[in-house]
Each structure stands twice: as C-alpha cells, then as structure tokens.
Amino acid sequence: MRICKAGWPFIIGCLLCAAALASLSHSFGSAWLALASGAAFLAAAFCAYFFRDPFRRIPAGGGLVLSPADGKIMEIVDARDAVSREPVWVMRIFLSVFEPHLQRAPVAGRVRSVAYKKGRFLDARDPQAACENEQNRIVIEGAGAPVVVTQIAGLIARRIVCWVAEGQMVAAGERIGLIRFGSQVDLVLPKSLKLRVKAGDHVTAGDTVIAELAQKNES
C-alpha cells in the first residue's frame, strides 16, 4: 500500500518515540514505559493506515465527474453559486478518520483559482462547518462549467494541504490535496450535469462517477 509523503513525518516520529520508550523501559524495567512504547507503535500503525494512498482505476470517457474524496455523502443541496449566482448542486462528503484523506480532481481542466480561508474547527457534520470552518476552495474549469472542490477542516483536522496552483492543468482523478484527521469535502457542480449518486451513498475518490453531462444520457 502506497503512503502519502505527508504522512511519513508522523509515522517516523511515532516509531522513534516507540523505540526510545522501549529502550528506557528495558533500562529501568518500567511496565508503564513499555505500555507507552506500545501505544506509540500503535499510533505509528494508525498513521500509516490513515495516510494510505490506495490505487484507483480512473474511469475513461468524457463528460464524467468523479468523486473528489472518500466518504459518505451527507447531503446534496439544490442551490445557487455564491459567486456567479448560477443554479448548482452542492454535494457535501464527510470523511471519517478511517477514510483515505487524499483529494482528487473530479474533472480534467485548468485550475482557475485557489483560495484559502481561515476559520473555526467545528465538527464536519455541523451544518455551520461549511461556512465557518477553515477551508480551501479550488475552482477547476471543466465539465462544460467551473467545478468547485472545497477542502474543509473539521474538529480534529487542523491542517489542509493543497498540491495545485492557479493556472495548473489537472487530469481527472489526479491527486490535488490532503486533509489531516477527519474532515469534509464540498463539491459544487453545474445543474447541467446529471447526478448518479444520492445522499447516504459511500463514494471513493477518483473512481466513483458522481455525475455526467446530461447530453451524454440523452444521445
């Protein structure tokens, strides 16, 4: 299993801590230090699991929109874009601490903008989290209209990592970022797309098709 580079400092740090505690436990004969060493080793194993980067087979074909994250769709809202005021779908995906936390580009295209905003750290399932929490908004020109991926920090997640920049071209399914330890990803889609998922569905980044161009079904 591949592990994200961003996870190695956590894994190595926990392993070094486990080794140091084990050495001290051996020197002083302390059962408490031995237990602490075991806990640090388990923390290293959890970090390796959390920062895993599973292989994904990216679906071929134009007009498809892929899930940007692994998790459960909390809701899909019929709304208007905050900037353009055009009618859109807003899809909210909850990522538990047991999900891979990589984000992938839902469509191929050019990154029009990347905007980071400081904020609070409410639980990702809180209705106010999407508005008030720390977040990073990535706008990609694709699928016939801009598609917006918003990385949102949560109660435990305190670090958003973005690997793309304004003007960069991305492929569908390409890795674009990471959120550490439990969070939410919102996706804003134009209403011209036909949804293929619903609230309550579990999706995986890069290989779950969540929408497609309506013309594709009607041809």
Distance of CA 135 to the CA centre of its chain: 12
* Residue that has been written with the tokens 């019929």 in this structure: 78
Contact in structure between 90 and 186 (CB atoms under 8 Å): yes
- Active-site residue 96, yes or no? no
If you ran DSSP here, which 8-state letter would residue 186 be given? E
Structure tokens at 82: 């905050």
> Minimal CA–CA distance to 90: which of 179, 214, 201, 185?
185
Distance of CA 96 to the CA centre of its chain: 10
- CA–CA separation, 80 vs 58, rounded Å? 29
How many other CB atoms are found less than 10 A from the CB of residue 127? Answer: 11
- Catalytic residue, chosen from 25, 37, 67, 183, is 183
Structure tokens at 168: 């960069």
Contact in structure between 56 and 70 (CB atoms under 8 Å): no
If you ran DSSP here, which 8-state letter would residue 133 be given? B
Residues annotated as catalytic are: 183
